Copies of this chain bind each other. A is one copy, B any other.
Amino acid sequence: MINYPFGKRVNSSPITAIKKNKNPVINSANRGMSFETDINFSNDYYAQKHIALITKRPTPINVVKVDYTRGARITDAYFSMQSTTDYNGVYHGRYIDFEAKSSHSKTSFPLNNITPHQFEHLKEVFFQGGIAFFLIEFTKLNEVYFLDARFVIDWHENQQKKSIPLTKIKENGRLIKQGLRPRIDYLPTIIEYYSL
């Protein structure tokens, strides 16, 4: 287990933890989860090395019932949708914001699991002068691509198709190097692409 730079152990999302317990077999569902874990480890690496500070927003949960007799134990709750993106942070004073998504297709990235709130959030990030992008994992190809969020927003608004072909992603995005530490070394691409 890699330690968080400040002594805290990496907090994988509650969903990850559950999925891992329930189903240790590698299938396409928890491959998506391990992509999240890989990005979390990469962010921990960047923080440890003081390269960038990028954190994952906790999974939003709506709490329905709490048992105060058991020290505020939650007895009824449900997962809710993130209305923002999953990750944000800072590099050289600049605001960075991104969403990590997995595609189980070999040829395209479907946009149907990006919510309208997330599109609006990403547009607002640009309006405020921030940097916003997607990291897209193609699980069956074992490839991860960077794609500026403007391209995704434009495609969503101007194309009839509900997915972006991999060929377009290759043309407009960048292939991210995978390695041991960090697993998903996306930061050099960001620095180069946005001239940071």
Contact = CB atoms under 8 A, between A and B. Distances in A.
Interface string A28-72: 000000000000000000010010110101111111001000011
Count of identical protomers in the assembly = 2
A74 to B, nearest CB: 4
Interface stretch (A3-11, A103-111, A136-144, A165-173): A3-11
Given A73-B76, A74-B74, A78-B73, A93 B130 contact: yes
Nearest to A127: B50
B93 A128 contact: yes
Contacts of A84: 55
A74 B77 CA distance: 5
A36 to B, nearest CB: 15
Name the prevailing secondary structure of the A interface residues: mixed
Interface in A120-177: 120-121, 124-125, 127-130
Interface in A72-125: 72-80, 82-84, 88-97, 116-117, 120-121, 124-125
Contact of A5 (B11, B50, B120): B120
Interface of A: 4-8, 11, 14-15, 17-18, 47, 50, 52-53, 55, 57-63, 66, 71-80, 82-84, 88-97, 116-117, 120-121, 124-125, 127-130
